[in-house]
């Protein structure tokens, strides 16, 4: 007798193929994650390769023929590509389509259009609904008319415009800091900040659930680096007790709202440890600005702590601020160092003035219209109540914009996302190695513009789809790995 099939209708040959591919893929990605001590990068998941909407451009070579697909030579031996292919093979054998790279055919608001179908959208992090607000759009249009599309140079050379300075002054005021600096990419902000700030005699300590941008910056920095289990400040203190005397500077890095789990750091205890061990504290506010705090000002407001108590604030402009790019806020000395030495600032084009203008206007609206944050938090509380009633596990989420529904198995999470899209609901899964094995989930992004009945519809459909998959015998990769074939 065999256990439940991983997918309905899989015969012995398909099960053997899926089992072999899944075992190879899990072993390869698990090895990569364990060797680095952190989550492996990228959203790789069980699922067939994404299908493009149509053929790409006809790229002609010098003699009029198409470009050769074998370049660069030897890419087939690339370990990352091999892992992707194994995961795709396992997904194909399990009958899974990729849940990523879905094509939105218009403005992705609380509703969006995918493959010609209007669906409820819980996959976009427009937390305060400002991406759809006409005022940031008007600000962008005005800057576009005045400054053109591109800054046409780095900030240091020729790319600085008055709107960049206005945005940075507003961010510095928001965080009670002396100065701030904008970057064209949120990911590059953390990479450049950490790689520039931390030197060979230093140490960087990061939460185990920290974003890839921080991990990448740590890897590029000559400083020593270690991670501690998620929100385990006792473990952090043990590291500090042993390692602090060995290093000149120590930087502790946490997120203001964790992007996969929707929970918070213990900011008061972190500040106490910072002071006790003479360290620096960096908080990544990418997801916290807007969703967290009574009026959406961030994690410092939630805990009632003056933002100037934190050494370094980092954030992105692409979530609540209806733009793109990133920023750092801190002391004047820090910002002067980054403006002159951070590679993502010095060697990259400036943030387009129109995007700086939209972010500046969105930041103003965040302060002037606190009801947006209140509506978002009310939606989060409603989501948690309704999920509990339906027996759905939201983990440690506090109800602030990021709401996971824990599934466990990566293939099951991907299949569940597929079924929900068929039912008119767009929500993306997060699977291993993006999260630890056995903790795959659907990640719902809420907006202040979502209506309670839309949340009810999505959660009811999630419960029904899970029950239906269980009735069909879909046990995912976990079930497949335990089969005797």
The DSSP output letter for 76 is: G
Cα gap 51→263, rounded to integer Å: 34
Above 90 in pLDDT, residue 307?
yes
Q: Are 468 and 6 in contact (CB under 8 A)?
A: no
Mean pLDDT of the chain: 89
Q: What is the predicted pLDDT for the residue at 224?
A: 98
Give me the catalytic one of 187, 211, 230, 287: 287
Cα gap 378→91, rounded to integer Å: 37
168 or 474, greater pLDDT = 168
134 or 98, greater pLDDT = 134
Residue 319 known to be catalytic: yes
Cα gap 334→408, rounded to integer Å: 42
Residue 259 known to be catalytic: yes
Q: What is the mean pLDDT of residues 294-305?
A: 98
Cα gap 311→24, rounded to integer Å: 44
Above 60 in pLDDT, residue 435?
yes
The DSSP output letter for 66 is: B
Give me the catalytic one of 259, 320, 375, 439: 259
Above 80 in pLDDT, residue 439?
yes
DSSP 401-422: SEEEEEEE-HHHHHHHHHHHHH
Q: What is the predicted pLDDT for the residue at 437?
A: 87
Question: What contacts 344, CB < 8 A, 6 or more positions away?
Answer: 183, 184, 185, 188, 189, 191, 192
Above 70 in pLDDT, residue 17?
no
478 or 124, greater pLDDT = 124
pLDDT digits (tens, 9 = 90+) for 168-191: 999 999 999 999 999 999 999 999
Q: What percent of the chain has pLDDT over 70?
A: 84
Domains in the chain (CATH in brackets) are 97-127+372-481 (3.90.1150.10), 134-368 (3.40.640.10)
Above 50 in pLDDT, residue 5?
no
pLDDT digits (tens, 9 = 90+) for 281-291: 999 999 999 99
pLDDT digits (tens, 9 = 90+) for 246-275: 999 999 999 999 999 999 999 999 999 999
Give the confidence band of 71 by pLDDT, cuts at 50, 70, 90. Answer: confident
Q: Are 482 and 420 in contact (CB under 8 A)?
A: no
Q: Characterize 182-191 residue by residue with b for buried, 16 or more Cβ atoms within 10 angstroms of its Cβ, and e for exposed.
A: bbbbbbbbbb
pLDDT digits (tens, 9 = 90+) for 363-412: 999 999 999 999 999 999 999 999 999 999 999 999 999 999 999 999 99
Give me the catalytic one of 187, 230, 319, 345: 319
Above 90 in pLDDT, residue 86?
no
Q: What is the predicted pLDDT for the residue at 243?
A: 98
Above 80 in pLDDT, residue 105?
yes
Give the confidence band of 40 by pLDDT, cuts at 50, 70, 90. Answer: very low
Cα gap 398→262, rounded to integer Å: 6
Q: What is the predicted pLDDT for the residue at 132?
A: 87
334 or 87, greater pLDDT = 334
**Which is nearest to 261 in space by CA: 229, 296, 302, 238?**
229
Q: Give this prediction's pTM.
A: 0.88
């Amino acid at each position: 007798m065999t256990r439940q099939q991983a997918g309905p209708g899989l015969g012995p040959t398909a099960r053997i193929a899926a089992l072999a591919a899944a075992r190879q893929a899990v072993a390869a990605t698990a090895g990569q994650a364990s060797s680095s001590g952190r989550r492996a990068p990228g959203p790789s998941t069980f699922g067939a390769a994404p299908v493009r909407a149509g053929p790409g451009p006809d790229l002609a070579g010098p003699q009029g023929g198409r470009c050769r697909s074998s370049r660069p030579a030897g890419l087939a031996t690339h370990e990352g590509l091999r892992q992707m292919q194994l995961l795709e093979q396992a997904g194909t054998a399990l009958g899974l389509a990729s849940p990523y790279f879905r094509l939105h055919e218009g403005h992705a608001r609380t509703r969006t259009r995918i493959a010609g179908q209007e669906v409820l959208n819980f996959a976009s992090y427009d937390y305060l609904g400002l991406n759809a607000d006409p005022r940031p759009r008007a600000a962008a249009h005005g800057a576009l008319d005045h400054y053109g599309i591109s800054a046409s140079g780095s900030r240091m050379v020729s790319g600085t415009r008055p709107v960049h300075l206005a945005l940075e002054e507003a961010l510095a005021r928001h965080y009670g800091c002396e100065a701030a600096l904008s970057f064209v990419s949120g990911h590059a902000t953390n990479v450049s900040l950490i790689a520039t700030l931390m030197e060979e005699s230093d140490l960087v300590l990061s939460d185990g659930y920290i974003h890839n941008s921080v991990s990448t910056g740590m890897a590029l920095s000559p400083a020593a680096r270690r991670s501690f289990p998620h929100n385990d400040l006792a473990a952090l203190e043990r590291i500090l007790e042993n390692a602090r005397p060995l290093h000149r500077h120590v930087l502790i890095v946490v997120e203001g709202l964790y992007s996969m789990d929707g929970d918070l750091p213990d900011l008061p205890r972190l500040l106490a440890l910072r002071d006790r061990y003479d360290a620096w504290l960096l908080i990544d506010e990418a997801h916290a600005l807007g969703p967290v705090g009574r009026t959406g000002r961030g994690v410092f407001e939630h805990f009632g702590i003056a933002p100037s108590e934190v050494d370094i604030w980092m954030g992105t402009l692409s979530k609540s601020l209806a733009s793109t790019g990133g920023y750092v806020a801190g002391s004047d000395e820090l910002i002067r160092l980054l403006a002159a030495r951070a590679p993502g600032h010095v060697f990259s084009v400036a943030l387009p003035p129109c995007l700086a203008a939209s972010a500046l206007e969105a930041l103003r609206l965040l302060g002037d219209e606190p009801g947006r944050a209140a509506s978002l938090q009310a939606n989060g509380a409603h989501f948690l109540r309704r999920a509990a009633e339906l027996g759905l596990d939201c983990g440690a989420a506090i109800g602030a914009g990021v709401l996971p529904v824990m599934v466990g198995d990566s293939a099951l999470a991907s299949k569940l996302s597929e079924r929900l899209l068929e039912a008119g609901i767009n929500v993306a899964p997060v699977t291993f190695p993006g999260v630890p094995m056995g903790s795959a989930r659907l990640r719902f992004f809420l907006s202040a513009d979502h209506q309670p009945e839309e949340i009810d519809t999505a959660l009811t459909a999630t419960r029904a789809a899970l029950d239906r998959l269980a009735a069909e015998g879909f046990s995912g990769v976990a079930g497949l790995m335990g089969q005797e074939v």
